Amino acid sequence: MSSYDVHIGKLISGRRGLEGSESYILCTPDKQIVEIDSTRLHEGIFVSTAEMEDALYEYCKSAMDEYIAEGNNEDVYTFSIYTDTYHGSYIIYINNQNTLNEMVEDSYTRERKRHRNKDESEVREKLCAELKYAEGDFSFMYEDMPERLEKWLGMFYCISLEEPRFLDIDQAYIFEKTLFDSQLFLIAIDVIQRLQPDFEQLQRTDDFIAYVSAADGVGGDYLTTSQLLRKCVSQKQLYKAMPDVEEKDLEFQAAVQSVKQLPLDEQVQHWIHALDHGEFGKNSPYSFWKTDYEVYEQLIGLGQEAVPAIEKHLNDELKQDTKRILHMVLEDLEQL
């Protein structure tokens, strides 16, 4: 997912705009999906980004109201919008400290058998760290979307997977093409910001965080931790909620400072090797819970002086994905 990491990272960081801003996608009752360049000559219900955001906000509010009505509104420490930008889906997750404690106790006996030599408190601490933000293990999962959002995302699925045979509509619909450039992430980030006054209804812990998370296959935990969380939560609050993230950030900063002591050519070589050796290779950004987008940023930070060294490495035996990223870097350095 290397070049994808850079492509999506540039979008989330604001280094690039959405693709397809002058185009639209038309879905018809006779199961056709067509790209069009204007809405003027086509009849259909137009679904704007603003309407999608309003529907997601409504969904989040409904989930929060249901959670509170169930009598669980105490020591709430997390609220997240799990986002799948490929299949087109959102799921709302909420959890509280009491339920987390129950999750830890449920897992404790099994874990204790596996680690007999570890101290009891050490085992519980390990489980708490593993389960605290493990959304899939939460009891409070809300999948019942507003009808309009469910319908729109059903069509999104058909468009994204190029499966018009699954369309089940009695009217034509028109979507902005930008929606299919991972804009579901940006919409969810905006909704998290919009929900800030609504979170006052929750009895929150001091380390409460509300954020957007990425589904596996569209970035997963690495994209969530390296970028999406940071678009939703202040660094101070993030480090309070996830001190291990602060630890990894400091380790990465130290590694970057060490590389900066090298001559320019060696810096370029270091970062290119980090890209080409993959997720489990030496100096991989993933070891710091980051993605290859961070390597892209380091190469961009070297400025135009690094262009000859980068160009020289294009003749090396590198993975095609690595070369794609280097071409992105060179193109973006030209714009500086």
Tally of residues, the chain: 336
Q: Which tokens hold the place of 24?
A: 């639209």
pLDDT band at 144 (very low <50, low <70, confident <90, very high): very high
Residue 110 has pLDDT above 90, yes or no: no
Average pLDDT over residues 202-230: 97
Average pLDDT over residues 171-194: 97
Average pLDDT over residues 166-177: 96
For residues 32 and 174, what is the distance between their CA atoms, to the nearest angstrom?
Answer: 12
For residues 197 and 216, what is the distance between their CA atoms, to the nearest angstrom?
Answer: 30
- pLDDT tens per residue, range 119-128: 777 778 888 8
Residue 1 has pLDDT above 60, yes or no: no
The answer to whether 95 touches 77, Cβ cutoff 8 Å, is: yes
The answer to whether 212 touches 185, Cβ cutoff 8 Å, is: yes
Average pLDDT over residues 109-129: 73
The answer to whether 9 touches 184, Cβ cutoff 8 Å, is: no
Res 121: pLDDT? 74
For residues 172 and 161, what is the distance between their CA atoms, to the nearest angstrom?
Answer: 19
- pLDDT tens per residue, range 225-276: 999 999 999 999 999 999 999 999 999 999 999 999 999 999 999 999 999 9
Closest to 242 (Cα-Cα) out of 165, 134, 109, 152: 134
Q: Which tokens hold the place of 14?
A: 């604001």
For residues 104 and 125, what is the distance between their CA atoms, to the nearest angstrom?
Answer: 9
CA neighbours within 13 Å on the CB side: how many for 182? 25
Considering the entire predicted model, what is its pTM? Answer: 0.94
Res 216: pLDDT? 95
Closest to 184 (Cα-Cα) out of 164, 217, 212, 209: 212
Q: pLDDT > 70: what percent of the chain?
A: 97
For residues 260 and 335, what is the distance between their CA atoms, to the nearest angstrom?
Answer: 23
> The sheet that has 204-214: what strands, in order across it?
140-142, 89-96, 76-84, 204-214
Res 125: pLDDT? 83
Res 295: pLDDT? 97
Residue 114 has pLDDT above 70, yes or no: no
Which sign, positive or negative, has the C-alpha torsion 195, 198, 203, 205? positive
For residues 224 and 212, what is the distance between their CA atoms, to the nearest angstrom?
Answer: 7
- Calculate helix-pair angle for 183-194, 49-69, nearest 10 degrees: 50
- pLDDT tens per residue, range 35-82: 999 988 889 999 999 999 999 999 999 999 999 999 999 999 999 999
- pLDDT tens per residue, range 284-324: 999 999 999 999 999 999 999 999 999 999 989 999 999 99
Average pLDDT over residues 162-173: 96
